Homo-oligomer: A and B are copies of this chain.
Amino acid sequence: MVEPATDTIAATKLVPLLKDELDIVIPTIRNLDFLEMWRPFFEPYHLIIVQDGDPSKIIKVPDGFDYELYNRNDINRILGPKASCISFKDSACRCFGYMVSKKKYIFTIDDDCFVAKDPSGKAINALEQHIKNILSPSTPFFFNTLYDPYREGADFVRGYPFSLREGAPTAVSHGLWLNIPDYDAPTQLVKPLERNTRYVDAVLTIPKGTLFPMCGMNLCFDRDLIGPAMYFGLMGDGQPIGRYDDMWAGWCTKVICDHLGLGVKTGLPYIYHSKASNPFVNLKKEYKGIFWQEEIIPFFQAATLPKDCTSVQKCYIELSKQVKEKLGKVDPYFDKLADAMVTWIEAWDELNPAGAPAKVSNGKA
């Protein structure tokens, strides 16, 4: 006699979603006390900590977390000359963690991000919401006015083509921030006291053909689907620009997702962003980006990829060529960046040989 399961609800609640298929990547220069607040949500998962700055500094990780930690010496040792593509003294270094992970999914979060509350006062399990976002399809080809149609209590509205209701695989889930909004230096300077207090209870797909400013503070993605496009560029030490690492990754990722028919969602979950970075320091890092983006964005809006670009790697190499050709004229920095994009893919492929099964990694480095 076949018996139905009786305790599935209890079981789903006890086993954290994707426990063995997701790594949490955290770039940092300090002790990771912020993890205490995340303990109930993050403790079951494996952490990849990318230590930026002085490698001799000891980063303390609260007890009980399963992690591996890489400092600059580790990066140089593992990548050799290809380590040049990984930024130093900038949180862009986090993308090294994406490369060494062997899991299917990555969640990355900044160490000044804490657990936010929903309007009912309940602590938001940001990771759980990201996983929900990424495991359900996206709707990049037509806008649904009731937002994510796969969410409980929602559906596709009248006039939504039935042929599109299966959606597209979701490659990226972009979460938002309560308290300190992700503003650029000029806006920070003009509105020093502005806080984001509006909880918008929505997840939506960014339509095909539309670019968006992707923030790396609270971000989840599918490494298998889009990982090699999540390169955070050359920022920080020795570079003329900072704070555009996640933007760069977002533009490249969105163009490639659009080409490959993958979805990008934004909205829930919120984290609580505790502290605004210094706007004067930010302005110094950003000012070239502020005028470069006026040329970079039209470049990405116009970028098209040939049909034979059927893998993320092929798309990314093609994009690097277009960057060199079209943005090289804007500043020699983009020549260097285009080369680094190629190095990044070479390093990615070295660490992630084709056909290698996603391994469950554990233990400390």
Contact = CB atoms under 8 A, between A and B. Distances in A.
Interface in A287-330: 290, 293-294, 297
Chain A contact residues: helix, strand, loop or mixed: loop
Nearest to A282: B158
Interface stretch (A2-10, A20-28, A93-101, A139-147): A139-147
A240 interface: no
A122 interface: no
B155 A187 contact: yes
B213 A210 contact: no
A211 interface: yes
A146 to B, nearest CB: 6
A150 to B, nearest CB: 13
Interface in A181-213: 181-184, 186-187, 191, 194-202, 204, 206-213
Given A200-B200, A201-B198, A294-B163, A157 B183 contact: yes
Contacts of A183: 155-158
Contacts of A196: 146, 153-154
A159 B210 contact: no
B215 A143 contact: no
B158 A145 contact: no
A172 B207 CA distance: 19
Contacts of A214: 159
A266 interface: yes
A211 B158 contact: no
Interface of A: 119, 142-147, 153-163, 174, 176, 181-184, 186-187, 191, 194-202, 204, 206-215, 243-244, 246-247, 250, 266, 286, 290, 293-294, 297
The 4 residue pairs across chains A and B that have the minimum distance between CB atoms:
A159-B213, A207-B210, A143-B212, A159-B247
